[in-house]
Each structure stands twice: as C-alpha cells, then as structure tokens.
Structure 1
Amino acid sequence: MWRVVLYARKEFPSSISETSEEAGTQKTGRVFCRILGPLQIAIDGKPVRVGRNRQLTVLAILLLNANKVVPVSTLIDAVWRSSPPATADKQIQTCVWRLRNSFTAAGGPADLIETDQGGYRIRLSDDDLDARAFEKAVRGARDLAAAGDLESALAEYQRALSLFRGQPLADLPGPLTYGIAAHWEERRFSVLEEWLDIGLAFGRHSELIGELKPLVAEYPMRERLCAQLMTALYLSQRRAEALAVYRNSRITLINKLGLEPGARLQELHQQILAGEPIDTPLIPQRRVHHTAKTPAQLPARAQDFTGRRDLLPKIASDLRGEGGARVVALTGCGGSGKTALAVQVGHDLHQYFPDGQLYADLHGQTSPVPPHEVLCGFLDALGVPEQRVPAGLAARAALFRSVSATKRLLIVLDDLAESIRYETLLPSGDSAVLCTARASPLKIPGLVEYRMGGLPADDALDLLASLVGTERVFTEVESARRIIQACGRLPLAIRAAGARLRARPHCSLRAFADRLTTHRSRIAELTIGPLDIGARLATSLDQLSPACRHLWMRLGLCHLEHLPEWAASTLSDLPAEETQRLLDILVNQHLLTVAPGDPVNGPTYTFNSLIRDHARRYGEKELGSSATEDVTHRLSHAARRWRASAGHADSHRKNEGATVHGARAV
C-alpha cells in the first residue's frame, strides 16, 4: 500500500542483496539489522541465517531494546510466555551462544552480544539498525524543514520511509509482535503525513495526488490524510474531486462512528466550497521558512498553458540579452493571463539564470506590498542573515544591489501598483526583471512593454478544448467560437466557462452560448469560485477618478463598435483636452483599446466585448435606467453636427483647391 518512492543509499540499503553488492569483497564486519519488516541481519552485506523460533525471538527482543540490558527473565517470558520449562535459562544461554556463533562465522564482531548484569545486550550504532536509522533520518528531515530547506527535507523523509519493507517482525507472529507492529504502523503513518505536508508546502500537490488517493481509499477515517488529498486536488484545479473526498469521508465517519468530521476538515471544506484561497499545511509546531541558497520561488506553471506563441520568444529574447539588468513588463486587463505567461517564461528560462529565480506577488490592485518588505524577503532568500538586513528602504535596496551584483537572477514582480515606485527592487549586474501590471509601469527606466489582450481565436478555442474536452468542443465548434467571443477571449473568463461546462456535462455548448449572449449579466455567468473576472475588472475601476469612471460607463452604453474622439468629448461634458487625458488613462488601464483611425478624423477606440458588457452593467446600475437613452440622444445630435462640420470643411477645401488651380492657370 505504500507507494512512496524508495531511495537507497549505503546507510539505508533497501535490500540485503543491495548491501552485498555495495560492499563487494571487502570485509569490514559491518552489521545492519532490520526489524521494520521481516527480521533480517546482514554482515558486510551478506544475510546471516540465525535459525527460527527461539533464536529469532531472542534476537528480536534484543534488537527492540538495542544498547540496553535485557534481563533473562524478559527473554524467557517472550519465548515461553506463561509456562517456561525448568531449563529455560539454560536454553536462553544456548540461543545466545548460537547467535554469537552465527555472527562470528559471517565475519561479524565477537562481542556484538554482551553478557551483563543478569542479562544480555546487543550493541548497535544508529546506522546499524533500521529503526534507529529511521528516527535519525526523521530528526534530520525536521531540522531541514525548520531551517527552510524543504527540498532536502523531502529527500530525507523519503529515505526514512524507504526503510519500511512491510509489517515489522512479520515472521514472528504472536501478541508481542502485534503490539510492536501497531506501534510502528502508527509511527510510519505519522511520518508519512509529515512528508506529505512538506510536499504540499513545496508546491508538489499535483504529484502527491497519486500517493494520497490509495491511502485515503484504504484509510478514509484518517482526517489528516483526507485534508491533504483535498488540498492537493483543490490546488491542482480539481475542486469537484476535493469536495467529493470530503463527502465520502463524512459518510464513512457517520456510518462507522456516528461522528461528524473534525473542525479542521469542516473548515477546509467550507473554504473549498466558497472558492477561497487555502494555505498548504505545515509540520506541526513548526513554521517553514524557505531560505534556499539558490532560490527557486516561481509558482508552478499552468499545465494547460495555451497560446501566446508570438510573445514567448520575444520576451525570452529580451530577458536573455546581455549588458546589465533588463526589465520587461506584461500589461493587460485583469484576467488576460499576464501572470501565467510570466511564470511560463520564467520556467522556460531556468537554465539561463543559474543563480536562481525570485518571485513576489505585490498585490498591486488590492493592498500593495511596500518595496522594503519585498526586499527583506529577497535578501532572506539569497541567504543574507536577518541581523544583517538594515531597516531603511534605501539601505536595503543598496544591499540588494550589492548581493545581486555578481549574480545572474530572474526576478518576477507580479501585479505592480501604479502608485508605488518599485525601482528599488531592480538588481544590478547581469540579472533580468519580468513584471506584470494592469497599467504601464512607465516609472521604471529601460522598460520594454508587451500589451496583452484576449487570446487569438484559435488559441482561445484550444484552451476551451483543454478544459472541457476536444471532442465536445469540436463537435460544436461554432457554438464554442461564440462562447470564447462572449468571454472576450480572456483566459480567465474562458477558464470560468470551462469550469461551468465541466460541472454541466450534459449541457450543450449551443445552450451555454445562448445563455452567455442573452444573460443580463454575462460577468456573473462567468464567475465560479476563484475564477471571478468581475472582481478582477472591479479592482481596475477602483483606480479611476470619478470623471474617468463616468466616461467609461457612458462609452459602454454606446452601441457604436468604434468610438471616435468626438463621441467621447460629447459624453464627457469636458473640454477636448481633458477628454483626451481621460481616454489615455482608460487605454493605459486596458479598459479601452486604440483602433487605427484615418488622418483626418483621428483615432477611434474599441472595447473588449466582455469589458463593454461590464461597463454597460455598471452604467445601467450607477447612471440610471434613462442613461442609455440619454447617451443615444447626445450622440445622434453630435453626429449630425459633426457631419455638417465635416461637409463644410470638405467644401471649403474644394473651393481652396479651385482657387489655387485658377491662380496657376492665370
């Protein structure tokens, strides 16, 4: 049932034959004893035959009490229980004599078993007995985890768990071994759960699902295992399966024990049900703090990442360039996939930045993280002791530049706030910075910016297919195209649509597309758990001034596909220069897009279809039911005036042309 990967090494041979191969022909007299499975003794890697029955029982009791004197009376009780023969002590003496002969004949030390104070003692170091080696490895793993070296801690836990080969002392049935087996079974479970916690904290949730599923199926009443599987599934975007694990565990607990799940499991269930972010579990009584010498802080890449084939090589080329720090920014509206692209690029370029990758989520649209806090985390990740980190921002920035001067790092700054200056986070030396933001971070010098909108139609279709199944999408490909268009081809909205469709396996794509195009609030239909495109867009609105927000909502109520400057000026009730400034802000926030215009009439502006729906919904709610009629009336009058003015100007130009032509003729 234990599917943990086995890691063999000299101290922890996974079988006696392996020890024999490693030792070769060299005779060292080294002893290795196993009780975490069938009892086995190896000397120089070769198994030692120690007989059966009494000798095996005596050896087992000595090993269970290694380095302690075991009274003869205890050995007699273990062999004969309540009815020992009159010669029991002599027979125990004979058993010990035969064991010593077996060990010395195999090349072991003659004094491995000592006689002392009315009993016997077997002398072994921590590396000579698998049970002691197990405890030593567990202590080492916990120390590594507490120091923040999670990767080494995982390996040490795996080495410890690899020492188990089945039920302890499985070849010695009886009351004595039943209790021992139960003790070690629980001990193994406890350590396995610690290992799983570390794996989750290290971000290996997808890999651990295969380990956890059979364990939970066999032990559905172990709530910690259930919580770990629920966490791994939820963090792997398998929310429905996580909820199913809770339901099955609850049914089992009620049916077998008449109990509801514990508070921790119920709380986790509610968080997943509400689509809230959850913390990965940590080792009990320990707070894991990662301080790797070569940091690798990037989040896991999206396994179903799709599209952006035109951007990937350009961004990678800019970041790999030589000659000092490079800064690349990915900007776009909420839900356009900036973070996923940044993480994808970061993982693709891992080999180009041998000194590590630093990552910080700056929460720019909600509660921006101050630069001095980010610098503290970066310095800690690069191995700077806490007592050496200065208090002031300028001093921390200077120290960060000094530490990074000789390194080649990739620094990913996710979700920059427009209002906060993050220049202090720029490294020196041959490092690169990749940042994401809603608005262009123009304050950062030397910036190369890539503006991101919706996915190309074919890429958006591929993403939907990866979420709901290729056959289902391409059976109704036209309806699928309507869905992605209704999503504005924004990755987050497409993921929400995919989640809705996965939850409705019998719903046709045509019916869902009809619902999206006729639903009064398309944004609400494209919100499921953390996939909330409305919340992402709402944070951008919070950055707008009242005048800018008012103009954006009025533009959303227009039925024009392309919005000329004169239309915006008509609706803003402001001078043309001020209207242009507001339009620039909306474009910078990716709430409007500049479309090509003609030289005479100037540029026009367009909406992403989903953002237009959002603007219209806000406009109807905040400006009143008559707002749409008012906007239409204003634009009609303005259009007539503009056409008349344009006609007059055209006539004037023709007259001027005729006059010039006549003058030339004369």
Structure 2
Amino acid sequence: MEFKILGPLEVWTDDGRRVRTEGAKQERMLGTLLLNAGTVVPVARLVDAVWGDEPPATAPRQIRNLAGLLRRKLAAAQDGPPVLLTDGPGYRIAPNGHQVDALTFAHRVSVARGLTERGEPAAAVEEFRSALGLWRGPVLDGLSGSLLAAGAVALEELRLTAWENCLDLEAELGRHRQTVPELTALVAEHPLRDRFVTQLVRALQRAGRQADALAAHRRFAHRLADELGLDPGPELQLLHQELLKDGAAPAQNGTAPATRPPRPRQHLPRPAQLPPALATFVGRTAELSALDGLVDPAGPAAAGIGVVTGGAGTGKTALAVHWAHRVRERFPDGQLHLNLGGYALDPPLTPYEALARFLRALGTDLERVPGTVDESAALYRSLLADRRVLVLLDNAHNAEQVRPLLPGSAGSLALVTGRDGLTGLTACDGARRLVLDVLPRTEAVELIARIAGAERTRAEPRAAAELAAACGHLPLALGIAAGRLAERPHRTLGEHTAELRDAEDRLTALQIDSDAASAVRVAFDLSYRALQPTAQRLFRLLGLAPGNCISTDAAAVLSGSAPAATRTVLEHLAAAHLLNPAGPDRYRLHDLLRCYAAERATAETRPTERAAARERLRSWHLHRTETPPRSPAPQLPHLAPTTAAPDA
C-alpha cells in the first residue's frame, strides 16, 4: 500500500486502486500519523490535530473510533502487514511493507548526498531529481490545522535544501542556461531565500546575461532592505562585485545604473546570555551524554532542537544551563537565553515579546523590530542564518510559544525546558526529548553534601540517606532542606531529618522564609493551576488514596467517573509530570506531590465529597477482595460477598 502526503493526501493499493478516506477528521488524523510515520502519536496530540483548540469532551473516544474505522478500511483494501497499530498511549503507522512518499523522499535525498560526497555529481543530480519528482504540491494540500502546518515545515525545508543542493551540482556540471527558468520560478516563489537568488545570479552571469544578473541582484537587495533591514550575504555581495568589474552594467540615458550605494555589512553582536552555572550541580551523567548527542557533528544538516521535560523541582533548568556552559565553545557566534515564564506567577511571555528581546540582543533597534510575529520570526531566522548560535529557551509554556523562536538553519541549536511534555516539538519539529526524573540516592546525598558540607554528611551517612528520602530525592526539596541545614551549623543531620520527617506540614518545612518563591509548594502550585478543572479534581482526590500507586480502575472509582474518561485525565496528569506511569494502567504519585494533593483536597473539596470518594474506593477494594479468582483453588476458602459491587 502506498501513502502520499507530498501534495494532497492519497492512499493507493499495490494494484492501483485509490482508497477513499471518510471525512476531514479521519484525513487530519491519518495525515498527522503519516507525518510521524514509524513513531507513536499520543491520543492527546491527535485530538489537537483533528479539532484544534476546542475539542469536544468525547474527543479521545472519537479518536479511538476513527482509528478503528481507518484500520478496518485499510485492512479491507489490501491484504498484508498491518498499517495502523495501537502502541501505548497512542497510535503509529508501521511503514514496514508499505510506502510513504515522505520517507521515500528523505531516503533518496540521503542517497543523493552520499553520491555527492563520493564525487559522483551526475548520479547525485539524477537521485535529487527523482526525490523532488515525488512532490505534487504543498504537504497535505487541502487539509487545514495548525499542527499539520507545523509538521509540514520540516519536510518543506528538506525539499528546498535538496533543491539548492541539486542546483549547485547542476552548476558544477556547467548546466547554467538550462537551470535559469527553474531558478527564476523558485526565486519568484521564495523571493527572500538568499541561496536561490545567489544561484540565479550566478547562472545568469555564466550564461552571459550580466545585465539580467545585476537586475536580479538589485531586486533582491532592495526587497531585503525594505522588508528586513538587511543586506545580502557575503557570497552574493562578492558575486555582485564580480558583475560590476565585468563592466556590463546597462546604461540608462548615458548614466550609470540606478543602484543604491552599498552599505557596510551588518556585524551582529555576540550575545553571551547564559545564566551562571550552579556550583552545586551533581551527577546527571547519562542525561548530559544524551544532550551531547544534539551537537554530534555527524548529525542532520538542520537546526537541532532538544527538549528537557520533567516535573516541578526536578532540576531541568540546572541541567540545561550546566550543559550549555559545557558546549558554549561549539557556538562561537553567541548564546541566547530567555525565561519564557511558562510556569510562573506572572503570565508567560508571548512569542512576539520573546522575539523582540532576541532581536534587540542581536543588534536590531527597537523601532526596526517588525510589528507581527511572522515578520519578526523571519528577521530573527535571517540574522541567525549561517551562524552557530545556542538558543536556551527555559520554562516553556507550550510548543506554540516556542516555534517562532527556533533557528531555521543548520549550525544553530535550540534547547527547550518545560514541565509540559511539549510533544508537538517532538512529533512535528523533530526535537529530541529527554525526560528528567528525581535524583538517584547517591546523587541526592552528594547534593546535600555540596550544600550542607561534606564533613557533616560523611559523619552521618545514614541520616543523610534518610534526609534524601524524606525529600523524595527531588532536587528542589533537597536544596531547600540542605540550605536550611547549612544555616544551622550546630544541628546534626539526624535532628534535621527527624524534624522534617515528623513535621505535620512537610511542605511548609520545605521552604525558605526569606525566599517564598523557592518553596516546593509554590512550584507544585504553578503546575496545579495550569490544569483543567477535571484534572485538578482527580489530582486532589488522588491525595486521599492510601499509598502512592493507583490503577486506572481504582482512580475511576475514587472520582466516580467512567474508566475511559479517567484514563484520559490520568494521561493528562502524566503529561504534566504530576504523575509517573508505573506499568500498564498504573500510575505513581511522588511522596511530596501526594502531600500536596491531600492538602489541596482539604482546602478545595467538600468534606462530604471526600468521604464519598473514600467510601467508593473502600467498597471497591473490598468487593475485589471478596470476588473469587478466575482459576478456582478449592483448597482455599473464599469470603462470602458482604457488599454490592460499585457501579464502576
């Protein structure tokens, strides 16, 4: 079976029959899966792709229905290996045994680049042309949706880069006259793409059309100055000087051609905005190694994107800043940094506000900052083109806030931190994702030693381990507890640990009186307040359950909701890193988060509702205990049921 997304969405069987999809919703779902062929797309992401910002309450169930209908339609159209698979939290297209034109395109481009490196330009051109011939129009032409449009950006950029590479090889083979019509059309479609203009001007020059080459340069220079306030790049400037030396500039009434006087090339400042690295940073060896892979010189020829995600207080910013300092020499043109305020007391920065700050850091006068997000993003990418800049975007709110701030060309790298999973950057923008958890025991004890003192920690190793456990190995909590201990040099670790462990309000004990914003409770508050009301309610009720691990069925009983609806809310809580998956349909609540959830339940849930939730869960557990096992064991006595089964 063949799937085509490089143009309108089409599905064809091997014997040439067209498979018709049923409705826009199914097409948007299939298009999203094909954009991410071979990788899992979570149900929540598919909901966003199909409905946008206002999905119905039944959207997750409808996604599963759409997936079932699509799976049956594809299976009925052609025998063979399954195409649409259910995989963990979502669905994925299995390309094995099937063709996806986007994957075929990427493969042929890779082959063409290999031929180029081996010095076979003619064969490389043929492979590039074969790849470009797969395109029938814009990606998923006719399907609307911001997520689909964002997912198409990477493919479109790969297409344009392949076209540039192909035309460079055509020039190397001396095919200047043949490529002029093609380049003229490409410049008309992409008038601000410096590489196409340079290739057109050179082709016109080599074809003996110097006057036309000068005119093409003049049009581009005027447009670039008027729209972005920039000059052409160094290569095009040198080419322009060659043309002027040829003396072929056309006369206009006996005078020199009307060209603007050349302006000096803009020299960008070299920003160095990274915050100071923490002297108390410990461990994270595996995580640092994973981030090192982002700057692998053998990596893809595109701007890299890394995402560090995790719960409140896990040390995402500390890790990102520490790593950024380790690799700063790999980015000689500077390092940009911005706290996007995604989880803060103040509203998050808008993309326009963030772009304005970056543009000013790159030397753009305030009055020359464009008035829209799209124009500002275009100027920002132009300023970073052909430069190696590290962009650290801390505390992101969502993928839409981040996308306009991503560099557009190879050499630069964006590293994003956020509590939300930022799945869109992974699914649609090719970001590599790193999930940060609490520290291992040994590293947690080492952090205490760094702050409270190594000698004190070595003197009481058992108490240090117990203190780390009382903090749940959470870096923020460890830092606060160790900081309070450092203020009391005469107190032993054992005394401090006993006070924290026995505190009636452990979250209050984990705050610094002079710095309320650093409290563990405040960090949890910011994540909790960002939840939808249904997710807030379930999170509160989880604080009433015994233990810190719960199944989907038990959570459904606790909340009085259907298991399917509860599963969706639990997935949402896990994506916000307020829960951790602990097996199939099971979730674990961090000890300190459980304290916080119970606190919120006491403050925001009526006593009658709390009592009813506990009673539902108690009855359900009792019924499960009394129910005979499926495989009878006659030698074991069975309890006679004493309670009716709960509705759930």
Q: TM-score range by the shorter chain?
A: 0.5 to 0.7
Q: Give the TM-score, by structure 2 length.
A: 0.53
Residue type at the aligned position of 1:435? V
Q: Is 2:579 aligned against 1:592?
A: yes
Q: 1:358 aligns with which of 319, 322, 336?
A: 336
Q: 1:334 aligns with which of 312, 315, 321?
A: 312
Q: 1:612 aligns with which of 583, 587, 594?
A: 594
Give the Å deviation of 1:332: 1.4
- Could you tell me whether the CA contact under 8 Å between 2:548 and 2:594 is conserved in 1? no
Q: Which residue number in structure 2 is paired with residue 380 of structure 1?
A: 360
- Could you tell me whether the CA contact under 8 Å between 1:319 and 1:433 is conserved in 2? no
CA distance in 1, matches of 2:564, 2:607: 29
Give the Å deviation of 1:300: 0.7
Q: Which residue number in structure 2 is paired with residue 368 of structure 1?
A: 348
Give the Å deviation of 1:427: 0.9
Give the Å deviation of 1:383: 2.2
Give the Å deviation of 1:543: 0.8
CA distance in 2, matches of 1:495, 1:590: 20
* 509-518 or 618-627, larger mean C-alpha shift: 618-627
Residues 552-594 of structure 1: per-residue CA shift (max 9 Å, x gap): 1111221123211111111121111110111011101111100
CA distance in 2, matches of 1:386, 1:538: 36
Give the Å deviation of 1:607: 1.3
Q: Which residue number in structure 2 is paired with residue 410 of structure 1?
A: 390
Q: Which residue number in structure 1 is paired with residue 504 of structure 2?
A: 520
CA distance in 2, matches of 1:433, 1:643: 52
Structure 1 residues 651 and 398, CA gap change in structure 2 (3 angstroms):
farther
Q: Which residue number in structure 2 is paired with residue 503 of structure 1?
A: 487
Q: Give the TM-score, by structure 1 length.
A: 0.51
CA distance in 2, matches of 1:362, 1:298: 14
Q: Which residue number in structure 2 is paired with residue 583 of structure 1?
A: 570
Q: 2:280 aligns with which of 304, 320, 325?
A: 304
CA distance in 2, matches of 1:625, 1:576: 24
CA distance in 1, matches of 2:548, 2:494: 25
Residue type at the aligned position of 1:584? E
Q: 1:456 aligns with which of 428, 440, 454?
A: 440
Q: Which residue number in structure 2 is paired with residue 537 of structure 1?
A: 524
Q: 1:401 aligns with which of 378, 381, 385?
A: 381
Residues 1-32 of structure 1: per-residue CA shift (max 9 Å, x gap): xxxxxxxxxxxxxxxxxxxxxxxxxxxxxxxx
Q: Which residue number in structure 1 is paired with residue 603 of structure 2?
A: 621
Q: Identity of counterpart residues, as a percentage?
A: 32
Give the Å deviation of 1:478: 1.4
**Gap regions ≥5 residues in structure 1:** 1-290, 597-601, 653-666
Structure 1 residues 636 and 376, CA gap change in structure 2 (3 angstroms):
same
Q: Is 2:510 aligned against 1:546?
A: no
Residues 306-325 of structure 1: per-residue CA shift (max 9 Å, x gap): 12111001112124444211
**Gap regions ≥5 residues in structure 2:** 1-266, 634-648
CA distance in 1, matches of 2:325, 2:587: 36
Give the Å deviation of 1:362: 0.5
Q: Which residue number in structure 1 is paired with residue 322 of structure 2?
A: 344
Task: Tell which structure's C-alpha radius of gyration is larger.
Answer: 1
Q: Which residue number in structure 1 is paired with residue 422 of structure 2?
A: 441
Give the Å deviation of 1:541: 0.7
Residue type at the aligned position of 1:311? E
Residues 281-317 of structure 1: per-residue CA shift (max 9 Å, x gap): xxxxxxxxxx971111100101111121110011121
Structure 1 residue matching 2:469: 3-state secondary structure: helix
Structure 1 residue matching 2:629: 3-state secondary structure: helix
- Could you tell me whether the CA contact under 8 Å between 1:558 and 1:631 is conserved in 2? no
- Could you tell me whether the CA contact under 8 Å between 1:620 and 1:627 is conserved in 2? no
Structure 1 residues 486 and 292, CA gap change in structure 2 (3 angstroms):
farther
CA distance in 1, matches of 2:625, 2:372: 61
Give the Å deviation of 1:428: 1.1
Structure 1 residues 651 and 407, CA gap change in structure 2 (3 angstroms):
farther
Residue type at the aligned position of 2:313? G
Residue type at the aligned position of 1:641? H
Structure 2 residue matching 1:351: 3-state secondary structure: helix
Structure 1 residue matching 2:306: 3-state secondary structure: strand
CA distance in 2, matches of 1:645, 1:318: 53
CA distance in 2, matches of 1:584, 1:425: 28
- Could you tell me whether the CA contact under 8 Å between 2:548 and 2:590 is conserved in 1? no
- Could you tell me whether the CA contact under 8 Å between 1:455 and 1:491 is conserved in 2? yes
Give the Å deviation of 1:644: 5.7
Residue type at the aligned position of 1:570? V
Residue type at the aligned position of 2:459? T
CA distance in 1, matches of 2:607, 2:529: 23
Residue type at the aligned position of 2:333? D
Q: Which residue number in structure 2 is paired with residue 208 of structure 1?
A: none
Give the Å deviation of 1:523: 0.9
CA distance in 2, matches of 1:421, 1:629: 41
1:172-251 aligned at under 5 Å gives the runs none
Residues 322-357 of structure 1: per-residue CA shift (max 9 Å, x gap): 421111111112211111111011110111111111
- Could you tell me whether the CA contact under 8 Å between 1:488 and 1:608 is conserved in 2? yes
1:279-294 aligned at under 5 Å gives the runs 293-294=269-270
CA distance in 1, matches of 2:290, 2:561: 40
Structure 1 residues 588 and 620, CA gap change in structure 2 (3 angstroms):
same
Give the Å deviation of 1:642: 3.6
